[in-house]
C-alpha cells in the first residue's frame, strides 16, 4: 500500500498500523521522502532522521506488544512554538536559533511515543518542526527568520499564519496532521487558506506548558488535519488538565470522537443537525467582504441548513473593536513574555558589546525581527505609566464586553458561523510595509480569541481567482465554552455530506 500512504488521514493510518498492513518505520520513511520532495514549500525548519526513526522503532515495538495507545505510529509534526527534546525549538526566531529544550511540551508528550522506560502518550511519531511566524506574530508566515512558507495551492501565495508550516504541510500531505497554536487566529486562518481543518479549543483545554509564550491569556494549542474526525482524535490526546499550567481547565479527560458522533435528539441520517441553531452575526458579513469568500461561506451555510440546522440572525456589535483591543493586549503580554530573551537567561547573545546594558541592547536588536520589535515597543508603551489607563485598562474592559456580546448571542443560538478571513490567501510580499493592513484582516478570528471561545476552520470549497477555481475558503464555526464536541459534530456532519475537505492542490 506504500504508493498511497500519504493520501490516508490519521484514523485510517492508525487502523493500518494496528492491522500491521504497514509499520511505523515504513510510514516515517515514506513521509520523510515526501517532505524532501516538497522542500521548496519551506514548511519544515528542523528535521532529524535519527530521532524520527528512533520514535518509529519504539512505536513498532509497542505495536508488537499490543500496546493500547490510540495513535501508535501515526506521523505528525509540531509547530516550532512547542519545545521538544529531540529537535531545536526556535519559534521561528533567530533569537532561539539552535536552542534545545531539556523537556517536551505537554502537548508534544501527550501526542508522542515516549522513550524506553517512559509511558507512551498517544503514540505519534514526529517528523520534525514546522515553520511559523516569528514568535507566532503574523498572519502570513513571512515574519519567520527561516523564510516564508509557500502555499501548496499556489506557491506564489502565502499559506497564512502564524501556523503556516503546519497548514501547508497538511495540505501538501507531508504529514496527516500537525499541531498549531492560535492566539488571534493562527490555527484557523492558515487552515482556511490551505484547505485544512483546524480547531482552537476553549482557553484552558490544552496545556500551555512548553509552548513558547506570545500572549499568555490568549495562547491555545490545537490540531490542524484533513478532517474534523481526525481533529477529534488528536484533540482528545492533546487536551486535558495539566498541573504544570496554572490556567489549565480542571476537567475530566474528554472523548471528542464520541462527542462528535453522538446523535442529536430528533436527528435523522438525512438531517443530523436537526434542531441546531446557527447564529450569523451581521458584522461577519459586511458589504466589502470579497465576493468569492461570501459565495463559498453561503454555500456551506446552505448545506448546514439542508442537514437540519436553522440559521438565525445575531449581532456582535463590537466586532470592529476586536482589532484595536487585541493589538493592545497581545503586544502588552508579549512585551512582558519576551523580556526573558536577553542573551543571559535565554537566547542569542551579541558577540561584541561594551557593558551589560549594551549587551542586552545588541542581543535583542540582533535576535528579534522587525514585527517582534514593533510589538514589544507597542506593548511597552501601552503598559507604561501614564498610558496604562488610556490603553491597557480600556482594552481589558472592552475585552470583557466582547465576551459578554457572545453570551448574548448564545442565548439565541448553539453555534456561530462566518468566514475565517475576509479574503483568500494573498500573494507573497503583497503585505508590503503596512502592518495595519495585516492586522485588519484578523477581524473575524480575533473576537473568539478575546472571549477565549473554541472555534474551528472548516473547508468551504474553492474560490475562483482570475476566473478559475483555485484557492480554499474557510468557514468559521464558533462554540460556547467547552463546546468542542458540538463544533466537531457540526463540522463532521458537513464533511460527511460534502467533499470540500478532500480537495487536493494540483501537483500534490
Ligand atoms: N495574526 C495575529 C497576530 O499577528 C494572530 C497570531 C496568532 O494567532 N498567533 O497576532
Q: Is the CB of 372 under 6 A from ligand 1?
A: no
- Distance (Å, whole) CA 106 – CA 65: 25
- Distance (Å, whole) CA 463 – CA 470: 6
Q: Is the CB of 242 under 6 A from ligand 1?
A: no
Within 8 A by CB and 6+ apart from 416, the residues are 278, 279, 280, 281, 284, 314, 316, 406, 409, 410, 477, 478, 479
Using a cut of 0.95, tell me whether the model's pTM lies above it: yes
Cβ atoms of residues 503 and 196 within 8 Å: no
Q: Tell whether the model's pLDDT for residue 171 goes beyond 70.
A: yes
Query: What's the pLDDT tens digit per position in 265-312?
Result: 999 999 999 999 999 999 999 987 778 999 999 999 999 999 999 999
- Distance (Å, whole) CA 129 – CA 141: 14
What φ, ψ does residue 474 adopt, rounded to 5°?
-105, 135
Active site residue: 93, 126, 186, 248, which one?
A: 186
pLDDT of the residue at 290: 79
Q: What is the mean pLDDT of the chain?
A: 96
> What does R_g of the chain's alpha carbons equal in angstroms?
22
Q: Is the CB of 334 under 6 A from ligand 1?
A: no
**Among 139, 335, 337, which is best to mutate for testing ligand 1, by the most ligand atoms less than 8 A from CB?**
139
Q: Tell whether the model's pLDDT for residue 223 goes beyond 60.
A: yes
pLDDT of the residue at 2: 58
Distance 347 CA to ligand 1 centre (A): 22
Q: Is the CB of 162 under 6 A from ligand 1?
A: yes
Percent share of the chain, pLDDT over 90: 95
Distance 163 CA to ligand 1 centre (A): 9
| H helical segments located in 176-321 | 188-194, 228-238, 256-261, 291-306
Q: Is the CB of 219 under 6 A from ligand 1?
A: no
Q: Is the CB of 154 under 6 A from ligand 1?
A: no
Structural domains of the chain sorted by starting position, each given as residue range(s) with its CATH number in brackets: 2-259 (3.90.1300.10)
Active site residue: 101, 139, 144, 162, which one?
A: 162
Residue 101 annotated to the active site: no
Cβ atoms of residues 416 and 283 within 8 Å: no
Query: What's the pLDDT tens digit per position in 440-488?
Result: 999 999 999 999 999 999 999 999 877 776 899 999 999 999 999 999 9
71 — pLDDT class (breaks 50, 70, 90): very high
Amino acid at each position: 500500500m506504500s504508493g498511497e500512504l500519504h493520501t490516508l488521514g490519521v484514523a485510517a493510518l492508525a487502523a493500518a498500523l494496528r492491522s500491521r498492513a504497514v509499520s511505523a518505520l515504513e510510514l516515517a520513511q515514506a513521509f520523510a521522502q515526501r517532505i524532501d520532495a516538497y522542500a521548496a514549500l519551506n514548511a519544515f525548519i528542523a528535521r532529524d532522521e535519527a530521532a524520527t526513526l528512533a520514535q518509529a522503532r519504539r512505536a513498532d515495538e509497542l505495536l508488537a506488544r499490543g500496546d493500547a495507545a490510540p495513535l501508535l505510529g501515526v506521523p505528525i509534526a509540531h509547530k516550532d512554538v512547542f519545545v521538544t527534546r529531540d529537535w531545536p525549538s526556535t519559534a521561528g526566531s533567530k533569537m532561539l536559533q539552535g536552542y534545545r529544550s531539556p523537556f517536551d511540551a505537554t502537548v508534544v508528550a501527550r501526542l508522542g511515543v515516549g522513550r524506553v522506560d517512559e509511558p507512551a502518550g498517544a503514540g505519534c511519531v514526529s517528523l520534525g518542526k514546522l515553520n511559523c511566524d516569528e514568535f507566532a506574530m503574523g498572519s502570513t508566515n513571512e515574519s519567520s527568520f527561516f523564510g516564508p512558507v509557500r502555499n501548496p495551492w499556489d506557491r506564489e501565495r502565502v499559506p497564512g499564519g502564524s501556523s503556516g508550516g503546519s497548514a501547508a504541510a497538511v495540505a501538501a500531505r507531508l504529514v496527516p496532521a500537525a499541531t498549531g497554536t492560535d492566539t488571534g487566529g493562527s490555527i484557523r486562518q492558515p487552515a482556511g487558506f490551505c484547505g485544512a481543518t483546524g480547531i482552537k479549543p476553549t482557553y484552558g483545554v490544552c496545556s500551555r506548558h512548553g509552548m513558547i509564550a506570545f500572549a499568555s491569556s490568549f495562547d491555545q494549542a490545537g490540531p490542524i488535519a484533513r478532517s474534523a474526525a481526525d481533529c477529534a482524535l488528536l484533540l482528545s490526546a492533546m487536551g486535558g488538565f495539566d498541573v504544570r499550567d496554572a490556567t489549565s481547565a480542571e476537567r475530566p479527560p474528554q472523548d471528542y470522537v464520541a462527542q462528535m458522533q453522538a446523535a442529536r435528539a430528533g436527528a435523522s441520517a438525512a438531517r443530523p443537525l436537526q434542531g441546531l441553531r446557527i447564529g450569523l452575526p451581521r458584522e461577519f458579513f459586511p458589504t466589502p467582504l470579497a465576493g468569492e469568500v461570501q459565495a463559498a461561506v453561503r454555500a456551506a451555510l446552505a448545506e448546514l441548513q439542508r442537514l437540519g440546522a436553522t440559521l438565525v440572525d445575531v449581532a456582535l456589535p463590537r466586532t470592529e473593536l476586536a482589532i484595536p483591543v487585541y493589538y493592545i493586549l497581545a503586544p502588552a503580554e508579549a512585551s512582558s513574555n519576551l523580556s526573558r530573551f536577553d542573551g543571559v537567561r535565554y537566547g542569542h547573545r551579541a558577540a561584541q558589546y561594551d557593558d551589560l546594558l549594551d549587551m542586552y541592547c545588541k542581543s535583542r536588536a540582533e535576535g528579534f525581527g522587525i514585527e517582534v520589535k514593533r510589538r514589544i515597543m507597542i506593548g511597552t508603551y501601552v503598559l507604561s505609566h501614564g498610558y496604562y489607563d488610556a490603553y491597557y485598562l480600556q482594552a481589558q474592559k472592552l475585552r470583557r464586553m466582547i465576551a459578554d456580546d457572545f453570551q448574548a448571542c448564545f442565548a439565541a443560538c448553539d453555534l456561530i458561523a462566518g468566514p475565517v478571513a475576509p479574503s483568500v490567501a494573498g500573494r507573497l510580499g503583497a503585505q508590503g510595509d503596512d502592518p495595519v493592513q495585516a492586522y485588519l484582516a484578523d477581524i473575524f478570528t480575533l473576537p473568539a480569541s478575546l472571549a477565549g471561545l473554541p472555534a474551528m476552520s472548516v473547508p468551504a470549497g474553492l474560490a475562483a481567482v482570475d476566473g478559475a477555481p483555485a484557492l480554499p475558503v474557510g468557514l468559521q464555526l464558533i462554540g460556547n465554552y467547552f463546546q468542542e464536541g458540538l463544533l466537531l459534530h457540526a463540522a463532521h456532519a458537513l464533511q460527511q455530506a460534502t467533499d470540500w475537505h478532500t480537495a487536493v492542490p494540483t501537483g500534490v
